[in-house]
């Protein structure tokens, strides 16, 4: 996963206490609907604990992240006293005392992982039978850093998504401060086609129950608003996989 302590301040400024716009308006409300008030939730790669602050004290919650700085922030922002956070690398096999969580989540983090299979197996090993595993990621068909972009077809007056590659697995460096150029710190985004993600889940023991594709709820105004709004409705930002143990 790399050293996220080196970029934790950048990430905290980006996401903050309530999450970024799409956390607050798209991802969290839809994830909560899938969770359906599950009694216990294991939140993998929890960052500074965004999901925790939307859960009630009736839900037993454990958030795990590799970054001590982000775990410190999570405890600072924590809403419910009995909710817990733990500093641990989810890409290394671990054994928690509780192994019967009703749900596990991995939100906008699988693309940060060098070896997702170990993380998926950790989720599997700590879920009860028929427990749900919710994975939210930037849509792997339409939102690949440096390999997808918006283009305009002037003849048809249409905004469309250009995709340069899809089937190749990629590790893409992302500069957190592009203006600093060579002095900027980097994180890495891993691209996996859907077939690979499906195989990873199968290898880990999961069956896929549902796949959701979530679009942006933003609306444009101005001369190009019609094509921009249409493109948002047709090209999803996020892919969500709900898998069952």
Going along the chain from its start, the domains and CATH numbers come out as 4-244 (3.40.50.150)
The answer to whether 191 and 170 are in contact (CB under 8 A) is yes
Q: What token pair was written down for 32?
A: 């909560």
Helices 194-203 and 116-125: angle between axes, nearest 10 degrees: 40
Beta strands 40-44 and 101-107, pairing class = parallel
What would you report as the CA-atom Rg of the chain, rounded to the nearest whole angstrom? 18
Whole-structure pTM over 0.95, yes or no?
no
The pLDDT tens digits for 178-210 are 555 544 467 789 999 999 999 999 999 999 999
Give 169-174's long-range contacts (Cβ < 8 A, gap of 24+).
169/193, 169/196, 170/144, 172/144, 172/145, 172/146, 172/147, 174/145
The pLDDT tens digits for 207-222 are 999 999 999 999 999 8
């Amino acid at each position: 996963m790399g050293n996220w302590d080196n970029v934790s301040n950048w990430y905290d400024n980006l996401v903050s206490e309530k999450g970024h716009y799409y956390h607050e308006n798209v991802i969290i409300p839809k994830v909560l609907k899938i969770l359906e008030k599950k009694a216990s939730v294991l939140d993998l790669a929890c960052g500074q604990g965004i999901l925790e602050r939307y859960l009630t004290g009736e839900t037993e919650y454990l958030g795990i992240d590799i970054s001590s700085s982000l775990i410190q922030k999570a405890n600072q922002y924590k809403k419910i006293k009995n909710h817990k956070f733990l500093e641990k690398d989810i890409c290394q096999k671990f054994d928690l005392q509780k192994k019967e969580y009703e749900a596990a989540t991995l939100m906008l983090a699988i693309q940060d992982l060098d070896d997702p299979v170990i993380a998926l197996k950790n989720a599997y090993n700590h879920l009860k039978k028929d427990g749900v595993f919710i994975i939210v990621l930037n849509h792997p068909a339409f939102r690949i850093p440096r390999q997808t972009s918006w283009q305009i077809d002037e003849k048809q007056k249409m905004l469309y998504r250009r995709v340069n590659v899809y089937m190749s697995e990629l590790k893409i460096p992302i500069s957190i401060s592009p203006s600093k150029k060579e002095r900027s710190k980097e994180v890495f985004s891993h691209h996996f086609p859907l077939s690979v993600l499906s195989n990873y889940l199968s290898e880990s023991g999961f069956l896929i129950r549902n796949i959701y594709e979530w679009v942006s709820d933003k609306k444009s105004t101005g001369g190009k608003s019609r094509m921009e709004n249409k493109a948002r409705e047709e090209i999803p930002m996020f892919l969500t996989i709900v898998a069952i143990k």
